[in-house]
Amino acid sequence: MIPTWAQLAYLAAAVCFVLALKGLSSPKTARAGNLLGSVAALAAMIITFVVYDLDNFGWILGAIVVGCAIGIPAARLVAMTAMPQLVALFNGVGGGAAGLVAYLELADAETIFPLAAAVLTVPVGAIAFSGSVVTFLKLQELITTRPVTPPGGPIFFSIGLVAALVLAGLLYAGDGTDVWLGAILGAIALVVGVLLVLPVGGADVPVAISLLNAATGLAVAAGGYVLGNALLLIGGTLVGASGTILTRLMAQAMGRSVSSILFGAFRGGSTAGGGVVADRPVRSAGVDDIAIMLAYAQKVLIVPGYGLAVAQAQHTIHELAEHLESRGIEVDYAIHAVAGRMPGHMNVLLAEANVPYQKLLEMETANGQLRNTDVALVVGANDVVNPAARNSPGSPIYGMPILDVDQARAVVFLKRSMRPGFAGIENELLYDPKTTLLFGDAKESLTGLVSAVKAL
């Protein structure tokens, strides 16, 4: 029996989880919210060691040491551009751990509902694990980012799903005592997870990560029910609920339904283009010409994207904005919900450079100002400003809400090359007569612009 003080401590930790999640909803309180959640999780773990008479204490402690040795350097050294990949890996580890715990507890689940929860957690955790590994490989570009539909993929996916349901039923009917049946169920679920995520491509991959995160939360919550741990149940439910809400919001930001994102390639659609670049003339200029355009504007709207993060140019662009503002120019930042491949990516990146939060305009606000913007400075963004989302019904991003950069009086596009964005499709904005391209590394180009503006 868990002592009363420990139950109250678990309850306090659960409340801290809720408050931490609330804190993460705003950049102003995100750091405090993250710290609060971390402290609550650490306190809950210590309480578990104190209250329970744990077997294999040495193995558990060793596993914690190994996990810290891997996790702490990974989190501290990861580049901002690789943050979505890190999230995918951490999510996969959580799902896999929940699935393994449920598998080990199958034979000990003596009543109906804990047994059902354990049987459910095994395949859900396995799908979250294997699916998250595939999303990591896609985002890291270790495999193609385009949708991959193996021959007979939809058929094998359907067969695997049905087989998993049948095996889960048999395992439940056998009171979870058949360890081989549980192992086969987990193995099939791993394959289902791979087949689920492989057809997702392009900018839709972060949506899949969010959905798998919700699945991991569900698995952890069910694992908490199996183990009789209310804190795991509450924490998992919070992750599952928030992950589900985030998935819907991201899908809406992409102008897509979750089903079309997951199964569009099965129906012959695509979430990525062919990546073909047309041989068409574009208008380009050097830093001096661009500096004059910026210095004599009244309003400049900066549109940051993944390329800005890759170049680690957030401090340089903030310096450019400060120089423009010193000349009496109004400068703001237009932020798309999924710019940078994950929600909040650009907010965090610009916060590193101490860009005031009030200058970060959400898409609806920015679109209302673009018609009155003299220069829209696009740095590393592509798909989120592509007019094909409005004008090309056959485009894979058609219907996705975008920043209406083409409505500005002039557009300056900083690009390394004419290579398409993550969705793999050509951007018609590059060929717009009022668009001027500045080719080169974003940080080097912005450094040149800072010097040129200062010299005017």
Paired tokens of 414: 């900083």
The Cα–Cα gap between 5 and 345 comes to 40
* Residue 173: predicted pLDDT: 86
Confidence of residue 271 (pLDDT cuts 50, 70, 90): very low
First to last CA, the chain: 75
Q: Label residue 396 exposed, middle or buried (CB < 10 Å: 0-12, 13-18, 19+).
A: buried
What's the confidence (pLDDT) of residue 270?
46
Summarised one tens digit per residue, pLDDT across range 9-28 is 989 999 999 999 898 877 77
Give backbone dihedrals phi and psi of 278, rounded to 5 degrees, phi first: -75, 145
383 given a catalytic annotation: yes
**Tokens describing residue 76:** 């501290």
The C-alpha angle 358, 334, 388, rounded to 5 degrees, equals: 160
- Can you give the pLDDT at residue 255? 67
The CA angle 162-164-167, to the nearest 5 degrees, is: 110
Whether the per-residue pLDDT at 7 is higher than 50: the answer is yes
| 101 pLDDT more than 80 | yes
Closest alpha carbon to 320 in 291, 357, 359, 354? 291
In the chain, % of residues over pLDDT 90: 39
With bands split at pLDDT 50, 70 and 90, how would you rate the model's confidence at 279?
low
Q: What is the pTM of this model?
A: 0.75
Share of the chain above pLDDT 70, in %: 93
The enclosing H or E element of 410 equals: none
pLDDT confidence of residue 341? 67
Give the chain's radius of gyration (CA, Å).
25
Per the model's pLDDT, the better-predicted residue between 433 and 269 turns out to be: 433
Per-residue pLDDT at 423: 64
The closest alpha carbon to 430, from 442, 421, 441, belongs to 421
The pLDDT tens digits for 56-100 are 888 888 999 999 998 889 888 887 777 788 888 988 999 999 999
Q: How many Å apart are CA 286 and CA 278, to the nearest integer? A: 23
Please state the separation of Cα 209 from the chain's center in Å.
Answer: 6
C-beta separation of 258 from 207 below 8 A: yes
**Mean pLDDT, range 339-362, rounded to an integer:** 83
Q: Mean pLDDT over residues 104-115, rounded? A: 80
Angle, nearest 10°, between helix axes 83-105 and 205-227? 30
Taking the C-alpha atoms of residue 320 and residue 377, their distance in angstroms, rounded to an integer, is 11
What digits encode the pLDDT tens for the residues 142-171?
887 777 888 888 889 899 999 999 999 988
Q: Express each pLDDT in 24-53 by its tens digit.
A: 877 778 889 999 999 999 999 898 888 887
Residue 274 pLDDT? 47
Mean pLDDT across the chain = 86
Q: Please classify residue 271 by burial: count the beta carbons closer than 10 Å to its beta carbon, then call 0-12 exposed, 13-18 middle and 19+ buried.
A: buried
The pLDDT of residue 272 is 47
Going from the N-terminus, what domains does the chain have, and what CATH number goes with each? 78-263 (no CATH), 287-455 (3.40.50.1220)
Torsions phi, psi for 56 (to 5 deg): 55, 45
Range with lowest mean pLDDT among 232-241, 301-310, 396-405: 396-405
The sheet carrying 360-362 orders its strands as: 360-362, 330-335, 299-304, 375-379, 411-415, 435-439
Residue 267 has pLDDT above 70, yes or no: no
- Among candidate residues 332, 383, 404, 406, the one labeled active-site is 383
Instruction: Give me the mean pLDDT over the 341-366 stretch.
Output: 85
